[in-house]
Amino acid sequence: MRGGALRRVLSTFKFIDLFAGIGGFHIGLSDAGGECVFVSEWDEAARVTYRHNFEDKSGELFMEADGRFAGDITAITSSPHINKLIPKFDVLAAGFPCQPFSQAGLRKGMDETRGTLFFDILKILEAKRPAAFFLENVRGLLSHKSANGASTMEIIRGQLTEAGYYFSEHLVKASDFGVPQHRPRLFIIGFRSKAAMSRFKAPEPVELGITLDQILGGRTDREIGFTLRVGGRRSGVQDRRNWDTYLVDGVERSIGPEEGLKLQGFPSWFSFPPGISETQAMKQLGNSVAVPAVRAYAVAIASALGFPN
């Protein structure tokens, strides 16, 4: 039972997993004592991987009649029945699409359709008024400006404040939480209660729990690996766009899904289902989150809300 291998704890809070990908947030928040009650992910291949790993543990999520394993979130947020379609929950988790804000992309931000998906998160926050949220994006969001010169982050800050939330922003590297991957990301942690916000304490960095040499099975010239991303695979160590090829014992070697799962900190029980190609698996990993970093912040959120973990 794959999902059964999640750390068994008494669920103390409920969360929803938006733009869920393959379930990095699900693992981190479950390990912190949470119970997932709603998922949204539109990509069919990612949905297959998600179901493959979590159906045994959270089978009720995948009952078609309940509609709690949803596809396109805009179909939910555009419905007048949004309150009925999403169960009551305490924490909203969302790694909303980062390509519009990434330095690797065209940086169109909110001028691009995917960039406006933040407002679907906002609609859910306003409709359901959960106790907290946990948002993740690329660090480029902090400096991004729209076509008219407006700061995208200032727009987001203003909207979250108007929705009644107190929040803090954190630049977090995967390598600060035990895995040898750079991966700088922006975490935005918010609470409806000012008291809960004041109790929130960002977790302290920890030492590496596994080395890049151990993951790649040989001697490398790097302590911290490149940031896993989508596209540009196997470009070679001399290519400025290289992110997945290393010199291992003096020989060029490109990482595959098994190494990618370790670089992202996924547990040993997590796997890709039969029929998922290596290219698709690497794409899913590039779109995922570093699980140990999410777990550490999830524990801090639960503690601020007064939930044991």
Four-point Cα dihedral 99, 109, 175, 203, nearest 10: -130
- Exposure class string for 27-36: b at 16+ Cβ within 10 A, else e: bbbbbbbbbb
Query: What is the average pLDDT across 201-216?
Result: 96
What does the pLDDT look like over 6-56, one tens digit per residue? 444 455 899 999 999 999 999 999 999 999 999 999 999 999 999 999 998
Query: What is the average pLDDT across 219-233?
Result: 89
Q: Delineate the domains of the chain, giving CATH numbers in brackets.
A: 3-209+268-304 (3.40.50.150)
Are the beta carbons of 127 and 51 closer than 8 angstroms? no
Beta-strand ranges (E) seen in 58-211 are 69-70, 91-94, 132-138, 166-173, 184-191
What pLDDT score was predicted for residue 65? 64
What pLDDT score was predicted for residue 101? 46
What pLDDT score was predicted for residue 155? 87
Q: Is the pLDDT of residue 108 over 70?
A: no
pLDDT band, very low/low/confident/very high, at 5 (cuts 50, 70, 90)? very low
Are the beta carbons of 115 and 109 closer than 8 angstroms? yes
| Catalytic annotation present for 36 | no
Return the higher-pLDDT residue of 309 and 154: 154
d(CA 253, CA 196): 47
Which of 98, 156, 186, 215 is labelled catalytic?
Answer: 98
What does the pLDDT look like over 129-166, one tens digit per residue? 999 999 999 888 888 777 677 788 888 999 999 999 99
d(CA 300, CA 260): 26
d(CA 50, CA 69): 10
Q: Is the pLDDT of residue 105 over 50?
A: no
Q: Is the pLDDT of residue 197 over 70?
A: yes
What pLDDT score was predicted for residue 64? 72
- Per the prediction, the chain carries an average pLDDT of 88
What does the pLDDT look like over 54-79, one tens digit per residue? 998 877 888 876 789 989 899 999 99
Q: Is the pLDDT of residue 188 over 80?
A: yes
pLDDT band, very low/low/confident/very high, at 309 (cuts 50, 70, 90)? low
